[in-house]
Amino acid sequence: MELATEKWGGHPHYRGDMRVLGDDEHGTWLWGRSGRVLLKGDGGSLVAQQDTVIVVPREAWWHAAWWLGHPEIALYVNINTPARRDDDRLVAVDLDLDVIRWHDGRVEVVDRDEFEVHQVRYHYPPDIVAAAEAATAEAYDLVLRDQPPFDGAAARRWVERARA
């Protein structure tokens, strides 16, 4: 299955193939091996340096990624519109803001500057801005309090399954 993110207005952002591991109460779990190629909207590409497990909830305005073995990042939560499924693709609109838990335990919201610029460039409607801000605040709080799925317990189970 391809996981794709776009910028507002249908502008391509990132996309890459992932294996569907299954579904649980948190959403659809995807697996990507290190070495896979991710295509960028500008025509470039990058090679994934880590195995990755991602959960894409059915209705939430985020998806969460664990880049296994990343030297600095323990958890990366991308704020985006709820994903829609188009055949063999999951597509969401990236809304710039991200919540990161670093290995040293810090939790931060990043890319606020990008969010401010893109509100103007892409003409985000006020309800989208409000939804992105609300999703960021909620994700930040849940990550800070180590609540599921951000505690990583479910992610570890799916990783075991993927590597079995």
- Per-domain residue ranges of the chain: 2-157
pLDDT attached to residue 149 = 98
The backbone torsions φ and ψ at residue 136, rounded to the nearest 5 degrees and listed phi first, read -65, -45
Residue 48's Cβ-count burial label (10 Å; 0-12, 13-18, 19+) is middle
pLDDT attached to residue 86 = 85
pLDDT attached to residue 24 = 97
Tens digit of each residue's pLDDT (9 = 90 or more) over 133-153: 999 999 999 999 999 999 999
Average pLDDT over residues 108-134: 97
Average pLDDT over all residues of the chain:
96
pLDDT attached to residue 87 = 86
Query: CB within 8 A of 9, min separation 6: which ones?
Result: 122, 123
31 forms bridges with which residues in the sheet?
19, 53
Statement: 2-157 belongs to CATH 1.10.3720.10: no
Residue 4 has pLDDT above 90, yes or no: yes
Average pLDDT over residues 28-55: 96
The backbone torsions φ and ψ at residue 65, rounded to the nearest 5 degrees and listed phi first, read -125, 140
Tens digit of each residue's pLDDT (9 = 90 or more) over 64-88: 999 999 999 999 999 999 999 988 9
Smallest Cα–Cα separation from 66: which of 31, 112, 108?
Answer: 31
